Amino acid sequence: MKISDWLDEKEAESGDVSQIILPTDMSYDEVPDEAIYFKEINPCGFLCNENHPFSKVERFG
């Protein structure tokens, strides 16, 4: 499932995705050792319905 699809489901359930509360096992109070940046790119054009994920991991320190 794409991230955008998951957000669409949450938006349909509650209407406002800016105030989503994460489950306690998914959130941390500590500063992370690494960050994952995820972006969906679409090299085929805007009519393509294929999943073209791109992610980059940055490690700190």
Angstrom distances, CA of residue 3 to CA of 7, 8, 13, 18, 24: 6, 9, 15, 14, 20
| Domain extent listing, the chain | 31-61
User: pTM score, two decimals?
Assistant: 0.33
Phi, then psi, of 34 in degrees rounded to 5: -150, 160
Give residue-wise pLDDT tens across range 1-35. 555 666 677 778 877 767 776 656 555 667 666 66
Dist CA 38 CA 34 (whole Å): 13
What confidence category does residue 52 fall into, taking pLDDT thresholds of 50, 70 and 90?
A: low
Confidence (pLDDT) at 9:
78
pLDDT at 36 over 70: no
